[in-house]
Amino acid sequence: MKIKWIILFIVFINTAAVSQQKMLTAVLELKGEGILDSDARLISSRLRTYLFDTQKFTVVEREKMNEILKEQGFQMSGCTSNECAVEAGRLLGVKYIIAGDVGKIGKLYTVSLRLIDVETGRLVRVISEDCECGIEEFLKNTIKIASYKIAGHTKIKSEKKIKDYLYISSFGGIGTTPLFSEISVGGTFAYGDSKIGRVGISTAIIIDELITINLYYAYPLHVYKKFSFVPQLGIGYLEMDYYYDEDTEETGTATGLGSFIGGITELELASNLNLEVNYFYGFSFSDFDANYDTISAGLSYKF
């Protein structure tokens, strides 16, 4: 009985080891449509790297593949059909071969891949990925996703795009001080990125009554698709006229350090343009306990 269990255990270990073996695979040069031949070759090279990273394939090097096919008198130019890919795979002695297309239509990059069993000529897996993006993101993320999908991975690792930007906004609305409600105008200028948020300078003016210039920090919280909420916290210079202090029943001015808390609701109108609604609540640290608030709407632009 013990011998039987030992044999079964050995068979199990051997089966598991075989299942973990990488599949010997070759990748044909992707056929380019609407892109430069040099870009298609670069994308094909990056695809081989990502396929190796999936831990599912042992990938034949491009130079070795070309050397073998050249020795066999095989012409790679125009080899786009499955039959031609299978023939190339047999000459290379691989179990699988990957062929496909890569191209660009307008602003859309696209890649299609076919995983072919060389012995049977059967299509094992066919995938396609699109990206309305730049060539850099397409190369780093979309091709990586495509390689993991053709390998059969359900969980795909991709690099989160981090975009840095300059941010400019202007807005107008209603501002309130303890004695007056007036038209308010203002704007911001900031620098940041999509990961850490933005740091900048914010100004708010309640006509004839209040001026603030604040250094602020903001981080966008994406609520739903093109909607986001941006909490803000700032500190800076404040000058307020005609302020009434409820404790002392005195009227005067508040000048010096001020601070505000607030937020912005943003709606993306285009890739770089947002419609925004602002709300700020501010107060001073000197002269009087001068509080104010503003609500306004405007546009913001990132570039």
Q: Where is the domain boundary, 100, 118, 150?
A: 150
In degrees and rounded to multiples of 5, residue 123 shows phi and psi of -75, 120
Q: Each residue of 143-161: b (16+ CB within 10 Å) or e? A: bbbbbbbbbeeeeeeeeee
In degrees and rounded to multiples of 5, residue 220 shows phi and psi of -75, 135
Together in a domain, 101 and 27: yes
Q: Where is the domain boundary, 84, 117, 150?
A: 150
DSSP string, 247-276: TTTEEEEEEEEEEEEEEEEEEESSSSEEEE
Together in a domain, 173 and 80: no
Domain count, the chain: 2
Together in a domain, 140 and 168: no
Residues sharing a CB contact under 8 Å with residue 115, sequence separation 6 or more, in sequence order: 96, 98, 123, 124, 125, 126, 150
pTM: 0.49
Together in a domain, 292 and 175: yes
Which domain covers residue 24, as residue numbers?
A: 20-150
| CATH number of the domain within which 208 lies | 2.40.160.20
Each residue's pLDDT, cut to its tens digit, for the chain (303 residues) gives 445 444 434 433 343 333 346 789 999 999 999 999 889 999 999 999 999 888 888 898 888 888 888 888 887 777 778 898 899 889 999 999 999 999 999 889 999 999 999 999 899 999 999 998 888 889 988 999 999 999 887 665 545 555 677 888 888 888 887 777 888 888 888 888 767 788 889 888 888 788 888 888 887 787 776 788 888 888 888 888 776 666 777 777 778 888 888 888 888 888 788 888 888 888 887 776 778 888 889 888 888
Q: Where is the domain boundary, 150, 184, 201?
A: 150
| CATH number of the domain within which 123 lies | 3.40.50.10610
> How big is the CA angle at 223 (ends 302 and 141), to the nearest 5 degrees?
65
Q: Report the run of H or E that residue 61 belongs to, with start and end.
A: none
